[in-house]
Amino acid sequence: MSTAPAREHAVGTEAVTCAIAGCGPAGALLGLLLARAGIDVLVLEKHEDFFRDFRGDTIHPSTIEIMEELGLLDELSALPQQRTGRLEAVTDTGTATLADFGELDLRHPYIAFVPQWDFLDLLTDEAGRYPTFTLRMGAEVLDVRRGGGGRVTGVSYRDREGGTHEVDATLTVATDGRGSDVRRSVGLVPVGYGAPMDILWFRLSRSHGDREGTFGRITAGRFVAMIDRGDYWQVAYAIPKGADAELRAQSIDTLRESVADLMPFLADRTHELRGWDDVRSLEVQVNRLRRWHVPGLLLIGDAAHAMSPIGGVGINLAIQDAVAAANLLAEPLRRGRVTERALARVRRRRWLPTFVTQTVQRVVQRRLLGPVLQGERPGAALGPLRRVARLGFVRRLPARLVGVGVLPEHVRTPVLAERAPDQSGRPPVGA
């Protein structure tokens, strides 16, 4: 990976073909795909590292396939991970299978739970093997720069010492997540669709006798997703929207007792929650931009559409957006001119998958999770679902929607740059 400044353009200003704001899944993969295609790319990430314990770790079958297309399947498989072939909901009366990836004709019929920092390290180490890739950590994008006619011509950013810098770019891509600073700086506002819940996010250790695999526990008033992370459970505990402050005003015992009551096998370890500092809050948002671009700037991933956590699809949609953007824009970028029409094509390509996924999430929120969090028994909503699930192809729909999504993308960008030997320091795969 290049650590030297990119081409000097004017005093204090550097010039690149593509500047990417934010190095989450979307920014990291887009940077890799463009660098492979020989395009000069600078990725700016405000944090100093990828440690994101508070983030999701789900790598779905469609993303695994993309990693295979990139020749990174062995490296991905070598990362620490747990795999699950089906998603189940445990109710008071039994267990319902929500999605069984084994029933689909998939090359990789499982979700891999991979720590997001390992996944991002893998993508950026690989990108760093191409000479035109630069990742700058501790670089916070402050604003966009504008040229003639208001076209976005790059960004300004602050480095870790507090110095400010300017970057000229043929194209700027905002992949800076759901609180996107870049989006704000160009005045785009997503349409919000609301959500009946927020999430408390915490860990509890796993014991040998615990059930295997990831599952959901649902009963009147409560819903919890239990993600099996090997030696611990990553717990996503749903609460009614806006209830966080009220809950935190109470003793942590309230949460401990609720968890023990819902899943008695955890009763011996709820004390691991020493206080509310061990519990993070995620404000659930579902929103979408009407326009994903302005001249010179494209927004993708969470910056264009925040997803509900239902199905754990946010990372995978961000990845698919990055592949679509690279497929559609690598050639115009190589030619040095990206028109508005080319940028609009990215949204056109990715609108349907985003719309369908969010619509299904909203239906599940409205019909199942919202009423359950208000105290209704889940049976009323799960009953018809169970009956529908007996119909062959319908039964496979949730697995297809979660695991593959609508209009899955495939890597079409060429490899035009020479790849340097591995300098990541990771042991060779299989060693």
- Footprint on this chain of ligand FAD (rule: CB under 6 A): 21-27, 44-47, 54-56, 58, 140-141, 175-177, 181, 201, 282, 301-303, 307, 309, 312-316, 318
- Whose Cβ is closer to ligand FAD: residue 98's or residue 315's? 315
Least distance in Å: CB of 37 to ligand FAD? 20
What SS3 state is found at 338? coil
Residue 39 token pair: 């395009």
Question: Crossing angle of helices 340-364/392-403, nearest 10°?
Answer: 130
**Rounded to 5, what percent of the chain is helix, strand, coil?**
35, 25, 40
Q: How far is the CB of 382 from ligand FAD (least distance, A)?
A: 22
C-alpha 99/C-alpha 210 separation (Å) is 21
Output 46 or 129, the one with its CB closest to ligand FAD.
46
Q: How far is the CB of 203 from ligand FAD (least distance, A)?
A: 12
Residue nearer to ligand FAD on the CB measure, 236 or 259: 236
CB-based contact 42:23 (threshold 8 Å): no
What three-state secondary structure class fits 290? coil
- What is the smallest separation between the CB atom of 43 and ligand FAD, expressed in angstroms? 9
Helix, strand, or coil (residue 37): coil
Query: Measured from the CB of residue 28, what is the shortest distance to ligand FAD in angstroms?
Result: 7
Residue 391: CB partners within 8 Å, gap ≥ 6? none
CB closer to ligand FAD out of 80 and 375: 80
**Two tokens at 210?**
């615990």
User: What is the nearest approach in angstroms of ligand FAD to the Cβ of residue 322?
Assistant: 8
Q: Which residue has the tokens 């999504």?
A: 405
Q: How far is the CB of 142 from ligand FAD (least distance, A)?
A: 7
- Closest approach, Cβ 176 to ligand FAD, in A, equals 4
Residue 186 sits at φ, ψ, to 5 deg, of -105, 5
Q: Residue 246 CB, nearest distance to ligand FAD (Å)?
A: 20
Residue nearest to ligand FAD (CB): 56
Give CA separation, 117 vs 48, 113, 125, 376, 408, in Å.
12, 12, 12, 38, 24
Return the number of the residue (180 or 389) whose C-beta is nearest ligand FAD.
180
Cβ nearer to ligand FAD, comparing 325 with 368: 325
Nearer to ligand FAD, 225 or 389 (CB): 225
Closer by beta carbon to ligand FAD, 132 or else 214 = 214
Q: What angle do the packed helices 61-69 and 314-335 form, to 10 degrees? A: 30
**Residue 160 to residue 156: CA distance in whole angstroms:** 14
The CA R_g of the chain, rounded to the nearest whole Å, is 22
Beta carbon nearer to ligand FAD, 322 or 389 = 322
The phi-psi region of residue 296 (left if phi > 0; otherwise alpha if psi is between -120 and 50; otherwise beta) is left
Residues 176, 25: Cα–Cα separation, whole Å:
10
